[in-house]
Chain A
């Protein structure tokens, strides 16, 4: 993890998530549960999920995400860093 201490929100234990296969089939089978498709209006993100800004796939982690966390979007090969947007929502920004 490349969490920036200045951005870390707190040291409280993180919620853990068991990831089920959601039918996402665009990466090798062993990675599929870490991604899912955005289902459009009516869909929402869990605390362990962010949307890839490059290809719009939902990236999933086995733990609650916090600002500074590094995640990868395998479907579009992007390296991303989680940030807290002005709206208060977690977003992923591309790290070239």
Chain B
């Protein structure tokens, strides 16, 4: 079915009107309705009918899901804290949608662990949490607590989200049908989060280039923590070593666009 070529053409919007539209709660609501409706807990596939995973694969998947929960909890707590000192209304409203997204991610991932037979999913997350990811979470929340807008957005929406975006996409291609559908829904949300982070920081750096050295320092400190934990995740989901540099390249391209080599 086709519509007149100019009807609702987003590319005809003035820049300010575009930003107003995409940061709005209404835009978010209509967007997520498109890919989440009819998918309770993130999937329409019947978990009850799925073939049982072999014990080793199930173990690996549980460790990966547990660590995704750590990352999502970090982003949930980080994004909610950021709202209080976000510099403008658009950023506050956008972050309120990100908080809802992150809360949903945590819920569907814990639910998936229960579908896989875990009785106490939250205790399992504690037990399997990767030490470096826990350190990253702690440091991110310190940046939020210190109300350092640029550093916290950089840590959360660029470093953490960019790596999650790539890892979830890669994992989804190899995952069982239920996990795949859950991850694809999360990736659709992550597009907004990485875009918000990169564009918000890009505008900030343009106006205040003096913050760049401080962010470079944050990157030097936090990059290795996230990289190490996702390297471990990629090994758990059996991504061949030959494909891992490609994942790194995607992340490096994002920080290079912001001027960090």
Q: Is A77 an interface residue (CB 8 A)?
A: yes
- Most-contacted residue by chain B among A53, A54, A63 (CB, 10 A): A54
Q: Whole-angstrom distance between the alpha carbons of A16 and B4 in the complex?
A: 12
CB pair B2 A18 closer than 8 Å: yes
**Which residues from A are CB-within-8-Å of B8?**
30-31
**Which residues of B1-57 have CB atoms within 8 Å of chain A's CB atoms?**
1-3, 5-11, 13, 15, 18-19, 21-23, 27, 30-31, 34-35
Q: Does B168 contact A (CB under 8 A)?
A: no
Known: A29-B30, A72-B18, A96-B199; 15 extra A-B contacts, CB below 8 A, are A17-B5, A20-B1, A26-B34, A26-B35, A32-B34, A53-B257, A54-B254, A55-B194, A62-B5, A62-B6, A74-B22, A76-B191, A76-B192, A79-B199, A96-B203
> Is B206's beta carbon under 8 Å from chain A?
yes
Partner of B198, one of A30, A70, A75, A94: A94
Question: Within the complex, what minimum Cβ distance (angstroms) separates A56 from chain B?
Answer: 9
- Bound-state Cα–Cα, A26 to B30, Å: 9
Query: Which residues from B are CB-within-8-Å of A69?
Result: 11
CB pair B1–A72 under 8 Å, yes or no, is no
In the complex, 16 of the A-B residue pairs with CB atoms within 8 angstroms, ordered by the A residue number, are A27-B34, A28-B30, A30-B7, A34-B11, A54-B198, A54-B254, A54-B257, A55-B165, A55-B195, A62-B6, A72-B11, A72-B22, A74-B10, A75-B195, A77-B19, A94-B198
Residues 195-215 of B, flagged 1 when their CB comes within 8 A of A and 0 if not, give 110110011011000000000
B203 touches A16 (CB 8 A): no
User: Is B80 at the interface (CB under 8 A from chain A)?
Assistant: no
Cβ of A62 and Cβ of B9 under 8 Å apart? yes
Interface residues on A, range: 35 or more
Mostly, the B contact residues are helix
Task: Give chain A residues whose Cβ lies under 8 Å from the Cβ of B35.
Answer: 25-26
A5 to chain B, nearest CB (A): 19
* A73 at the binding interface (Cβ < 8 Å): yes
What B residues does A17 contact at CB under 8 A?
Answer: 5
CB distance from B131 to the nearest CB of A (A): 30
Interface residues of A in 1-36 (CB under 8 A from B): 16-21, 25-34
Query: B27, A26: Cβ atoms under 8 Å?
Result: no
CB < 8 Å: which of A20, A21, A26, A70 contacts B188?
A26
Q: Which residues of A contact B27 (CB under 8 A)?
A: 27-28, 74
Hey, what's the 0/1 contact readout for A56-96 against B, CB within 8 Å counting as 1?
01000111000001111111111100000000000000101
Measured between beta carbons, the chain B residues less than 8 angstroms from A62 are 5-6, 9
Asked if A54 and B194 make an inter-chain contact with CB atoms under 8 angstroms apart, the answer reads yes
Q: Which of A29, A34, A96 has a CB less than 8 Å from the CB of B9?
A: A34
Q: Which 9 A-B pairs have the closest CB atoms?
A: A76-B195, A96-B202, A28-B30, A25-B34, A62-B5, A30-B8, A77-B22, A77-B195, A55-B191
Docked-complex contact A53 and B203, CB < 8 angstroms: no
Query: A54-B254, A55-B191, A76-B194 given as contacts; is B31 within 8 A of A71 (CB)?
Result: no
Q: Taking A55-B195, A57-B191 as contacts, is the C-beta distance between A79 and B1 under 8 angstroms?
A: no
